[in-house]
Structure 1
């Protein structure tokens, strides 16, 4: 474990304990003082990379009320110096392949760039990122990704299936819109485009089409603008949409993979098999780019079925192991086994003791990202005014008063008006999720506005959205395991009590 740094508000061990207990997004301040990575401006990175080509994703800035998935974007291979010239709009300068894309109409994003590959000939760069100070011994830039974007660059709203994220903002600011796992039904999940480790939302969360997605009114947005030097913790299964708000932004992301329940592995294998089978079949409406660029390629049906069988066998073996441990377990210890972020077993006595003795130390160095307001018609235009914690670049200690949202008076007035019109606020601090009262859009329409439903042709994608709906995949997974393991996944034969189920996408 890294040596304690007395200048940091939390030691590596304390940070690990905090991460084990956090149940919502939070921002760490004053934890990255002295990290060389904070000098990674786009200009500095351009000097380091020289003539090396980097792949950029480009998207139009127009509001379309539909998400701009990676499959709908344009791509160019360019030098960082080309990106800088294009972003500065310098007339007569060499902008390389960006010349086809007017800066007034497009944003550009070099995203998901693995630092281990990008700087494979400069391994000393890995040491500029010090995740060991967060309690991850030996972890640095080698296990991280680099993101460089222009103003407006964004990633579509999605959740990560297998782990959680630590995001260091290096240069410029990024705004994060986060939604809790309980809001999954309100975000209309889809598996097209397909990516094994992610589930996307069909909703453009900044400009939602509430006629198509009325349940999005119930979504509870947690928004924060991340400043240079700050680290955002994004819990597993939290939805997030990210946008660059400054002319150039640079950030580093470390994805911490958690041990995944075998039932979740089976459900993912089933999903992959169904999606690949239907989308690989030639038909008139199967001409879209359905595989996300981050996926390695289309596996054959035989390969996918082997993956399903491997996942089912692993689940059966795990159930047998759990059954054996149940027979030798202390009868007083009746709760299911839980594991920490490193996969180590945590006993019930550990959990009880930790819960009784530890509370997350929110304050000037750790800020919870709370529910700001609902994405209702009244507040949709002001959702970009959010929690914007003062920059910790200078690593000066801050008072609790500095940890509040910095919004202008007009925003406060609009939010107060929305609340007074029946939009209830979510609790501050450790948000207690409860149903918020919303008026249905349809109920606000008069009878004169009623439109007869129009029958449209059902497409392959429509069929897939239903077939791989979380509830359907969950049921199919249980049926498979009942047939091939001798019982449903939540019941261990001869062991009695049910086992916990993960959210299955």
Structure 2
């Protein structure tokens, strides 16, 4: 039986603390798992958290029976390793069933059928980025087979998930996701993850071509880098981990990742968890979309597929992009207005409660000052304790092979991977903010309430508004510096 880190099997949480299957107890409650996810700044692997998920049996063989006869698009790539990334725009595509994929992947001769032009010894196939709601549109009950609520997100299941099925060598180019953080459940086979922290972005030579909303690609093939062309890449801090079936990888916001299948068949399920920062990121993405589409369409109006990722299927006209940008800005303002009102009301309630309980707290501290001090010290020690152990393994610099489920020994205390902000410092910040808000909160609430009725036309973002920002001298100066910096290696 797996125990919570720091406990023995005899002192492990009771059945109420986690889901139980036989003698197995999940090492983290949903609340604790969510706390870890929201505070960790490093990738980590959760073990023994999905042993009772029905989706753990979703092998390709099983899925071929569930999706019998359903056509799925596979991306076809070359197994050779070039110096340049193999972007989706350079791959071939076929429509095929999972039965046909299994036949081809077993290296059986295919003189006919969708894979007939792709020699299995030279090509890999990847059914990537398949949203459950589209894939299982007539089988909604299957959404319950994925239980992200175990990680503290009530009601989240397959409906908010994506399926990935690949052959050996199938991979995604190195990129970062603009939105959210990522949870990845490995079902069949193994995948090797190459991860780089957000701070290393300049060393990854980011590009938006090919363009895909929310995906920033690297110009580098990180498994065969061209250091003569991209010399700064040698400074990038590569974190590596091999994800085994049954394990769940947590990828924090804006961590770069290159993912490759290292077994004959792999199946993964992921879900992107929304974060507060996503609201502003959507505005930034809308601006990027408008600029890329406008410039690339003007450059070659008849060849959008040369720069537009095949996964980007929405219309790219200027009119559509203007609406997209305005919706993103309006959603951002709506969120800020709503969250500000809720925050002020919560602070007001907390302040009133503190006034009522102030004398009791003061008397309690006077009765046992030493005990109170010990309590605070104890809290500090608890917050500083590492969450890592046999059931939560950090992804570290270099290669780190993880044991299979319910096996292996964890080494190291993981102190370098503790989240930056502890609960205690958060409370201090809230108290300071409460003092600042107490004098003017009523006026702010009234102002926010009046602004909430603002007509959409008053916040409309025009093309000229965007250009005023883009051609601002401060912006053009930064752009010029980046252009010069990017070309300086040729001199």
Q: 1:202 to 1:59 in 2, by over 3 A?
A: same
Residue ranges of structure 2 left out of the alignment (5+ in a row): 1-15, 348-377, 421-464, 476-491
Q: Distance in 2 between matches of 1:61 and 1:21?
A: 38
Residue by residue over 1:198-237, the C-alpha shift from the partner in whole angstroms, topping out at 9 and shown as x without a partner, is: 1100000011111111110101000000000000000110
Give, in angstroms, the shift of residue 29 of structure 1.
0.6
| Aligned equivalent of 1:43 | 61
Give the alignment partner of residue 391 of structure 1, picking from 397, 400, 404. Answer: 404
Q: Distance in 1 between matches of 2:105 and 2:203?
A: 36
SS at match of 1:183: helix
SS at match of 2:80: coil
How many residue pairs match? The answer is 381
Mapped pair 1:365 → 2:387: no
| Aligned equivalent of 2:410 | 400
| Aligned equivalent of 2:317 | 300
Q: Distance in 2 between matches of 1:139 and 1:320?
A: 26
Give, in angstroms, the shift of residue 26 of structure 1.
0.1
Give, in angstroms, the shift of residue 114 of structure 1.
1.3
Which piece of structure 1 moves more, 165-174 or 140-149? 140-149
Does the 8 Å CA contact 2:94/2:114 hold for their aligned counterparts? Answer: yes
Mapped pair 1:480 → 2:490: no
Give runs of aligned pairs for residues 111-190 of structure 1, distance below 5 A: 111-190=128-207
Does the 8 Å CA contact 2:175/2:217 hold for their aligned counterparts? Answer: yes
Give, in angstroms, the shift of residue 49 of structure 1.
1.2
Does the 8 Å CA contact 2:386/2:418 hold for their aligned counterparts? Answer: no
Does the 8 Å CA contact 2:176/2:217 hold for their aligned counterparts? Answer: yes
Give, in angstroms, the shift of residue 480 of structure 1.
3.2
Give, in angstroms, the shift of residue 296 of structure 1.
2.3
Give, in angstroms, the shift of residue 80 of structure 1.
0.8
| Aligned equivalent of 1:222 | 239
Does the 8 Å CA contact 2:197/2:256 hold for their aligned counterparts? Answer: yes
| Aligned equivalent of 1:15 | 33
Give the alignment partner of residue 290 of structure 1, picking from 302, 307, 318. Answer: 307
| Aligned equivalent of 1:71 | 89
| Aligned equivalent of 1:503 | none
Q: Distance in 2 between matches of 1:256 and 1:74?
A: 31
Q: Distance in 2 between matches of 1:140 and 1:319?
A: 27
Q: 1:250 to 1:319 in 2, by over 3 A?
A: closer
Residue ranges of structure 1 left out of the alignment (5+ in a row): 331-352, 373-385, 405-426, 434-475, 489-505
Give the alignment partner of residue 53 of structure 1, picking from 64, 67, 71. Answer: 71
Does the 8 Å CA contact 2:44/2:250 hold for their aligned counterparts? Answer: yes
SS at match of 2:298: coil
Give runs of aligned pairs for residues 375-390 of structure 1, distance below 5 A: 386-390=399-403
Residue by residue over 1:25-44, the C-alpha shift from the partner in whole angstroms, topping out at 9 and shown as x without a partner, is: 00001111121211111111
Give runs of aligned pairs for residues 198-347 of structure 1, distance below 5 A: 198-260=215-277, 263-283=280-300, 289-311=306-328
Q: Distance in 2 between matches of 1:156 and 1:72?
A: 12
Does the 8 Å CA contact 1:370/1:429 hold for their aligned counterparts? Answer: no
TM-score by length of 1: 0.68
Q: Pick the structure with more helix per residue.
A: 2
Q: Distance in 1 between matches of 2:341 and 2:183?
A: 37
